Amino acid sequence: MIRFLKGFFLILLFLLFSPAGCDNSGEEEKENTISLEIGDQSITIEIADSPREWELGLSYRDTLADNHGMLFVFPDERGRSFWMRGCNFDIDLAYIESDGTISEIVNMKKEPLETPLDSLATYPSQSTKIKYVLEMIGGWFEAHNIDTNAKVDLDEISN
């Protein structure tokens, strides 16, 4: 009986702490999403505005739907640095200043899941005035002719 209860509790713990909703094939709309305009492109983005969401980012997803991404919203302007962990595809990262200007675009390459944290590549911003970071699937900005100095319409973002 004790063996059964141990097994039951292990399964229960596994189910409780397994990531929920990690399929993210883009079929379902997340509750914290909005539409943004970049140049002549309309995109759907998830908002990441808490430390937990900043840390998780797009990790453990198989892909992103067309013209979908994640916007990291920070409380202040400063230099930012990002890394890739547990992501199954390359990501384009746009560092954005508070007025919506893209100051730089970086392509982050996926890393093997077993890469130790202290060995992950980091991608620091050159600007110290970054308030937003937009992540899109690798190659998105080039495919849509979006370059630095482009403006992201952030009117719907209140912070």
Compute the distance between CA of residue 14 and CA of residue 50 in angstroms, rounded to an integer.
Answer: 25
Percentage of the chain surpassing pLDDT 90? 32
User: Is residue 142 within a helix (H) or strand (E), and if so which, with residue range?
Assistant: helix 140-143
Select the more confidently predicted residue: 77 or 112. Answer: 77
* 18 has pLDDT over 50: no
Numbers of helices and strands, H then E, in the chain? 3, 9
Strand ranges in the chain using DSSP code E only, listed in sequence order: 33-38, 41-48, 68-78, 81-83, 91-97, 102-108, 122-124, 130-137, 152-153
* 153 has pLDDT over 70: yes
pLDDT mean over 12-30: 34
Which residue bears the tokens 């009117």? 155
> At 91, is the pLDDT very low, low, confident or very high (cuts 50, 70, 90)?
confident
Residue type, 28: E
Q: What is the pLDDT of residues 113-127, one digit of tens each?
A: 777 888 888 889 999
Spans of all domains in the chain? 32-152
Q: What is the pLDDT of residue 93?
A: 92
The CATH number of the domain covering residues in 32-152: 2.60.120.1140
Q: What is the pLDDT of residues 30-39, one digit of tens each?
A: 567 888 899 8
Q: What is the pLDDT of residue 23?
A: 33
* 130 has pLDDT over 60: yes
